[in-house]
Amino acid sequence: MLEIKNLHVKLEEEDKQILKGVDLTVEAGKVHAIMGPNGSGKSTLSYVLSGRDGYEVTEGSATLDGEDLLELEPEERAALGLFLAFQYPVEIPGVGNMTFLRTAVNAQRKVRGEEELSAADFLKLVRAKAKTLKIDADMLKRPVNVGFSGGEKKRNEILQMAMLEPKMCILDETDSGLDVDAMKLVADGVNALRDEGRGFLVITHYQRLLDHIKPDVVHIMANGRIVKTGGPELALEVEHNGYADILAEVN
């Protein structure tokens, strides 16, 4: 589904190489996790895939179901089914959460040639999904992420994902800042979406999340590359021993 080959990325403004040849394939129906030290390039990878400005791809490719992602505008990638739950969700004063969600859902439906959701249908759907994530009506009415707690912001990301039903979901540290109960809610939200046709790329620092969202494959990213790939046991190894052993081994 998601195929990244030899991806090299530098900052547009500076002569700084951040990704130095990333190879990664996520198959439909699978959950892949990426772990790795701070600053290794995990968020950069997720931003480049979703089309954020400021990065320059110097080599390599990234495709979603065969479509060249790197050629597309961020909104086109979203309409293709790519979703990024941000490590730091953005506050947008003056834009109601509900208006935002509805605009996004309908924009994507439009691109896919589907009919727009009516206000009533949308409301019903969003209320039901918000309820399972314990997001109250008040949060839906407030401006996007403004005054939300860290955990509320992360749950709001998952609500957006649930509403948009993307086929390739990238979660960048969605577990950080969550209390134990919220983590369970978020994991349930993700697991509810797991199916044959959908792929997940879960970026995390903690094995704990992976207890709830069982990964099929775990990758270790260091210094702009995937340096090791394995099964769920790799996450346990990191949890117990840190990255030193793995990094020593690959060097």
Ligand X SMILES: Nc1ncnc2c1ncn2[C@@H]1O[C@H](COP(=O)(O)OP(=O)(O)OP(=O)(O)O)[C@@H](O)[C@H]1O
Binding site for Mg ion (CB under 5 A): 42-43, 87
Q: What angle do CA 9, 14, 18 make, to 5 degrees?
A: 30
196: enclosing H helix or E strand: none
Residue entry with tokens 């772990």: 35
Q: Which does 199 bind (CB under 5 to 8 A by kind): Mg ion, other proteins, ligand X, none?
A: none
Say whether residue 41 binds ligand X (CB under 6 A).
yes
Beta carbons of 86 and 157 less than 8 angstroms apart: yes
Q: Which of 11, 111, 137, 250 binds other proteins (CB under 8 A)?
A: 111
Q: Which does 18 bind (CB under 5 to 8 A by kind): other proteins, Mg ion, ligand X, none?
A: ligand X
* Nearer to other proteins (CB atom), residue 90 or residue 244: 90
Say whether residue 103 binds other proteins (CB under 8 A).
yes
Instruction: Using CB atoms within 10 Å of the CB of residue 201, give its burial: 0 to 12 exposed, 13 to 18 middle, 19+ buried.
Output: buried
Beta carbon of residue 54, minimum distance to other proteins (angstroms, whole number): 9
Say whether residue 7 binds other proteins (CB under 8 A).
no
Q: Which does 89 bind (CB under 5 to 8 A by kind): ligand X, Mg ion, other proteins, none?
A: other proteins
Say whether residue 115 binds other proteins (CB under 8 A).
no
Beta carbon of residue 44, minimum distance to Mg ion (angstroms, whole number): 8
Say whether residue 51 binds other proteins (CB under 8 A).
yes
Beta carbons of 168 and 82 less than 8 angstroms apart: yes
Q: CA-CA distance, 209 to 189, in Å (whole number)? A: 12
Q: Which of 15, 38, 66, 113 binds ligand X (CB under 6 A)?
A: 38
- Residue 150: name the closest of 126, 184, 171, 173 by CA: 173
Q: CA-CA distance, 5 to 60, in Å (whole number)? A: 5
Q: Which of 7, 22, 84, 221 binds other proteins (CB under 8 A)?
A: 84
* Nearer to ligand X (CB atom), residue 182 or residue 221: 221
Beta carbons of 1 and 65 less than 8 angstroms apart: yes
Q: Which does 60 bind (CB under 5 to 8 A by kind): other proteins, ligand X, Mg ion, none?
A: none
Kindly report the backbone phi and psi dihedral angles of residue 103, in degrees, each rounded to the nearest multiple of 5, phi listed first.
-60, -45
* Nearer to other proteins (CB atom), residue 66 or residue 94: 94
Say whether residue 54 binds ligand X (CB under 6 A).
yes
Number of Cα atoms under 13 Å in the Cβ half of residue 42: 26
Interactions with ligand X, residue window 87-106 (CB under 6 A)? 87
Task: Transcribe 50-73 into DSSP letters.
Answer: HT-TTEEEEEEEEEETTEEGGGS-
By CB under 6 A, name the binding residues for ligand X: 11, 18, 36, 38-44, 54, 87
